[in-house]
Amino acid sequence: MTPKDFGPAYCLNPHCGKPIGRNAGSGRPRTYCSDACGRAYRRAREKSPTPDTVAHNDFTDQVAADLGRVVNHLLYRALAQQPLAALSLIRTVEGDLEDLKAALVQQARDQRQKNPDIAECLGLPPEQLTRKLSADAVRRRMESRPLRTRTRVRLPRQAALPTAPSPRTALPPRTAPAPRIPGQRGPAAGGGEMTPSRARDPDRNPAGPAAVLTRALSHLQRLSGRSLRELADDTDVSASYVSRVLSGERCPSWKVTRLFTLACGGDPAEVQPLWVAARGQAPSQRQSLPAALRGLHLAAARPHTEQIGAHTRLTAHTITGMLNGTALPSWEDVEELAHALNAEAQPLRPLWNAACAALAAPLPPAAGPVAKVIG
């Protein structure tokens, strides 16, 4: 039998490329010119970052940048004697710190740091670190983080960070008004009387948060055309459980709700405020008012703006701006839109208050001047 002609072969190490002499005998053909060259290439390949490592590094950079901006903003509010606005930002800082801690822990793991050494830096037992900051916990934080940054309002940099007060000088007066608490109403333009609510049908009894979530999920299921069995497979639950969720008998966990929304082609950012309200929880700073309004719009089967305007005093342009987040509406407009979509407006109050606080003062400069203030 004529031996096979294997043709020319070259070393798989891209930095080498030398020809390899192959024999026609039995055994696995050589892929590297030498064992030393193969070991060097495998070591270099192990050191190259994996896609997960790149994602973890990007997540760490994103959280660190967001945290720096929020801390700068918080210091500005505190030095400008705006306690309510500063307190509203503390929750954001606390959430960012937790995200950053999880990101740094995972980054240390990617760098092959030992778990006891990581736990020692945090002052935690190694088993508690593994339980509270597992790889799955970091992944969940990475998945939920874009819900905030995607809708964040970017403000122009108009004013410098005020310096710390000295015994001889005082802070300048505030140029921006303090954020108005949603439960309060300002005076009317023509006098001192309070402006009444413009919401239609005050005795209508709009649907509660649980019913709104059920309507939103049901509408997503109808739009997708997917069967209960298909959705059950995508959400890792039974078809009967999906049926009870769509009928309002069960309020699913956020994991199931998120998987359900993605399986139906929806946006979890629009559904999460509805789920938080249905669970009776306080909204987090990662949620935004436009996303919550789009969730109510989804639960109402997404009626046209003209149809909404026919039952309210809102124009189509105003409604579109409220849903897209291009302008901050008044509380009366938010209340009227929520009632027009047959939903309670009360769960939207904290989100509207946070949006007002974000616009109460100009954004401070980057992190450079802050170090001088602290020092």
- Sequence ranges of the domains in the chain: 51-149, 209-358
Looking at per-residue pLDDT, the higher value among 106 and 6 belongs to 106
pLDDT score of 7 = 52
Work out the pLDDT band at 368, boundaries 50, 70, 90. very low
115 contact partners, CB below 8 Å, separation of at least 6: 109, 126, 129, 130
Looking at per-residue pLDDT, the higher value among 217 and 180 belongs to 217
Q: Considering only 12-21, 44-53, 140-149, 293-302, which range has the smallest mean pLDDT?
A: 140-149
Contact in structure between 360 and 82 (CB atoms under 8 Å): yes
Work out the pLDDT band at 285, boundaries 50, 70, 90. low
What is the average pLDDT across 130-151? 67
- For 6-36, what is each residue's pLDDT tens digit? 455 777 766 676 777 655 556 666 777 888 8
Q: Considering only 119-133, 176-190, 340-354, which range has the smallest mean pLDDT?
A: 176-190
Q: In the chain, how long is the greatest CA-to-CA distance?
A: 107
Residue 252's alpha-carbon distances to 72, 225, 257, 297, in angstroms, are 38, 20, 6, 21
pLDDT over threshold 60, residue 164: no
pLDDT score of 71 = 87
32 contact partners, CB below 8 Å, separation of at least 6: 11, 12, 13, 16, 20, 38, 41
What is the average pLDDT across 48-62? 74
Task: Return left, alpha or beta for 10; rule: phi > 0 is left, psi -120 to 50 is alpha, else beta.
Answer: beta
Work out the pLDDT band at 50, boundaries 50, 70, 90. low
**Six token digits for residue 9:** 């072969």
pLDDT score of 180 = 36
Task: Give the best-scoring range by mean pLDDT among 136-150, 214-228, 341-355.
Answer: 214-228
pLDDT over threshold 80, residue 246: yes
What is the average pLDDT across 129-155? 63
Residue linked to tokens 């190694």: 126
Task: Give the best-scoring range by mean pLDDT among 109-113, 139-143, 166-170, 259-263.
Answer: 259-263
CA–CA dist 54, 44 (Å, integer): 17
Which residue type occupies 329?
P
Work out the pLDDT band at 57, boundaries 50, 70, 90. confident
Helix %, strand %, coil % of the chain (to 5): 55, 0, 40
pLDDT over threshold 50, residue 309: yes
- For 166-214, what is each residue's pLDDT tens digit? 444 444 444 434 333 333 333 333 333 333 444 444 445 677 888 999 9
CATH code reported for the domain at 209-358: 1.10.260.40
Say whether 369 sits in a helix, a strand or coil: helix
pLDDT score of 154 = 39
pLDDT score of 219 = 92
pLDDT mean across residues, the chain: 74
